[in-house]
Chain A
């Protein structure tokens, strides 16, 4: 494609121009993704620490020690739970939202805008808002529940202070943030289905569920997989929500791989161990990237 486009400007300057056009993007990727990645791999096999200039390669020592650490195993399990639960909830809710927003009604534009807001707002701001909503002393939810006499004062659950509740809170806040994005993708997927097809299904005698599961969803598979794969990447690598809401606590019960890597590598100044932990994200992300490329390819072929 590049070659074709360049041809029209004259054969003489082809390679130079192509290189000049590509250089900024290549440089950007190399500096912001390539270099840190290579450094992370290097650190993972070393004894690098913040505040010390010593640097020795130690082989697999870091991996051996983190595999033995209970916090790592907990973080790995939490990461998987966090990602899977969040994805299921996000896909379910965004599908329902997309269906609700499909047909025109009064105020649809406003509602679409409001639903998009959590995505547009900075993660940290939104999460800080949630931290207050779920706070152990000032929680709005607790206040409402107490006012409704569901709980007595001082005996209400601590949303971020009990292991299972904290995990649920982290998952739900993350879903709140991802649903808008996913809904927009689903909405695009639904509106790409020609109107006659669900109509034909209705005439053929299919009810709501049959049309949804045998016609609409299968036809949306390519776009659905894009939403899922993006969601997995966003969730698996996200640490903002965890970091701000619970910082991994209580007792590592909400610690995920990225937040543990941060806590160990940066906050705990053990760069080498942090790098080794974050390398465990790579296989999952590579697999997701591969699947994404395949989906994109399939969509092109069809």
Chain B
């Protein structure tokens, strides 16, 4: 087990172009499940590949277990990685796939069988050892890839979108299994995904990346409730945080905090007149899309932006398109961002008046 640390890590693929990863500094905790979350092209996979040793950093430092590993080959870093495509060796049986790292790292032969069976047992694929990868289903392949990764008991686990090739139903169960699996082996794990649900559900902490820059590092609760800037605020949460601009400050609030005035939490409220444009039915909940009557300031950035309210299915009566209602947000649920830097700022007293 080990701690992974990057210091001012930068990767520029083509000189003169914007870096894929820019000046990233972060430290994992012992045994932590750390998630790199970002849209495609945010540099999360490049960052992971640099930690794995598959990509050479342009500048900066990578440390694993306190040792600078920039110049070490992947095999010397004692990491294991699961690829998005699983990258199983197609000409080898499951047994030989799992045993390959043992052979490559010159583990004594008499231990191979025991270790392969241990890893296969842990993932419940003991019955598949004689099959070739092409005879396996997507979920089974993923387990073989995981078994191959744990068999030599690595110091760090790197997972590159390992669930993205599974169908939606399998993904949910695989996610749960992966969490259980991490709890049982307790190895420091870095997990790359573009799926915020995966990130929130599995991560001890989440690193939100955008254009190769770390926007925020925090627990799922922190990044969701206390976003560091407007990118994090709108990238996390579906639908995203509502943003409005008032008197030189951006005000944000989550759709689920934007409620009919009569049921909004008591205490200090900020009231809006909400014009419903249309309603989206999602089973357990409904999304109301609309705008704020007289609330938008001419010429401001979020002038024509829709405001979304997310209501439980129990309170949908009367919200026909075109109707106008009194809505409110508890003052404690408002988040303030600087208009120029889009970074989080201190709450301001009533900018909307």
Contact = CB atoms under 8 A, between A and B. Distances in A.
A199 B75 contact: no
B91 A218 contact: yes
B157 to A, nearest CB: 11
A215 interface: yes
Interface string A196-240: 110111111111001000110011010000000000000000000
Contacts of B73: 202
A205 B75 CA distance: 4
A194 interface: yes
B101 A205 contact: yes
Most buried by A among B73, B80, B100: B100
Contacts of B100: 201, 204, 206, 214
B186 interface: no
Given A196-B85, A196-B87, A218-B91, A204 B134 contact: no
Contacts of B74: 199, 202-203, 205
A203 B75 contact: yes
B54 interface: yes
B101 A204 contact: yes
A38 B60 CA distance: 74
Interface in A272-292: none
Interface string B58-98: 00000000000000011100011101110111110000000
A32 to B, nearest CB: 40
Interface residues of A, number: 19
A204 B148 contact: yes
Given A199-B83, A200-B83, A205 B91 contact: no
A199 B74 CA distance: 9
A302 interface: yes
Interface string B134-154: 100000000000001000100
Contact of B54 (A199, A210, A218, A221): A199
Contacts of A203: 52-54, 74-75, 79-81
A220 to B, nearest CB: 10
Contacts of B90: 197, 219
B87 A206 contact: no
A185 B54 CA distance: 27
Most buried by A among B104, B105, B134, B148: B104
Interface in B270-301: none
A155 to B, nearest CB: 51
Nearest to A198: B87
B104 A201 contact: yes
Most buried by A among B79, B87, B103, B152: B87
Contacts of B91: 218-219, 221
A219 B90 CA distance: 8
Interface of B: 52-54, 73-75, 79-81, 83-85, 87-91, 100-101, 103-105, 134, 148, 152
Interface of A: 194, 196-197, 199-207, 210, 214-215, 218-219, 221, 302
Given A194-B85, A204-B101, 15 more contacts: A196-B85, A199-B54, A199-B83, A200-B81, A200-B88, A202-B53, A202-B54, A202-B73, A203-B53, A203-B75, A203-B79, A204-B104, A205-B104, A214-B100, A302-B134
